[in-house]
């Protein structure tokens, strides 16, 4: 009898790689000192050049990059040991924290800055997907 293959860690890796691509793109443009083009009129420029776009002189894109790289590492470990209680709940906790920060940042952009950035929205969507995948993995391994 073949062991059951849990797909959630592999989907988490794929989603986190999208997040890495998004944040790397923003980090690259930050290093160049230019604002990337945006489909939302002036939204990205207002958000990315606002004084709130940094946390103690560290761009939020860099923090997002660290978050997604850590998610990939955690998902790789979870792919090797999908039934590890510590890894499963660590992934769930980390995905929840990422989702909470994403919701906060989106609301902050809308209500305080008065603009929305499509790259931030992509990151928030990825964080939501990661949360859903972590929850799916917890439920699919619950009985094991």
- Tell me the pLDDT tens digit for each residue of 66-75: 999 999 999 9
Question: According to the model, what pLDDT value does residue 75 have?
Answer: 95
Average pLDDT over residues 106-116: 91
Beta carbons within 10 angstroms of residue 124's beta carbon? 21
Residues 64, 125: contact at Cβ < 8 Å? no
- The pLDDT tens digits for 4-37 are 768 899 999 999 999 999 999 998 988 888 888 8
Average pLDDT over residues 35-53: 81
Select 8-140's CATH number: 1.20.1440.130, 3.20.20.70, 3.30.2350.10, 3.40.50.720.
1.20.1440.130
- What ranges do the domains of the chain cover? 8-140
Residue 92 predicted with pLDDT over 80: yes
Residue 143 predicted with pLDDT over 80: no
For the entire predicted model, the pTM comes to 0.91
Q: What angle do CA 64, 92, 77 make, to 5 degrees?
A: 80
Question: According to the model, what pLDDT value does residue 1 have?
Answer: 56
Q: What is the mean pLDDT of the chain?
A: 90
Average pLDDT over residues 119-128: 94
Question: According to the model, what pLDDT value does residue 95 have?
Answer: 96
DSSP 50: S
Question: According to the model, what pLDDT value does residue 87 have?
Answer: 93
Task: Write b or e for each residue in 54-93: b if 16 or more Cβ atoms lie within 10 A of its Cβ, otherwise e.
Answer: eeeeebbbbebbebbbebbebbebbbeebeeeebbeebee
Helix (H) or strand (E) holding 130: helix 118-140
Residue 57 predicted with pLDDT over 90: no
Query: How far is it, in rounded angstroms, from Cα 1 to Cα 8?
Result: 21
More confident residue, 144 or 90: 90
């Amino acid at each position: 009898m073949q062991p059951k293959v849990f797909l959630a860690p592999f989907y988490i890796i794929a989603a986190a790689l999208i997040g890495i691509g998004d944040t790397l793109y923003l980090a690259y443009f930050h290093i160049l000192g230019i604002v990337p083009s945006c489909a939302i009129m002036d939204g990205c420029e207002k958000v990315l050049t606002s004084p709130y776009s940094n946390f103690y002189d560290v761009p939020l894109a860099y923090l997002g990059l660290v978050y997604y790289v850590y998610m990939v590492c955690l998902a790789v470990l979870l792919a090797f040991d999908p039934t590890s209680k510590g890894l499963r709940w660590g992934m769930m906790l980390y995905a929840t924290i990422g989702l909470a920060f994403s919701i906060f940042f989106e609301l902050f952009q809308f209500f305080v800055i008065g603009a929305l950035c499509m790259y931030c929205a992509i990151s928030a969507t990825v964080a939501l997907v990661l949360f859903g995948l972590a929850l799916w993995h917890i439920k699919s391994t619950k009985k094991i």
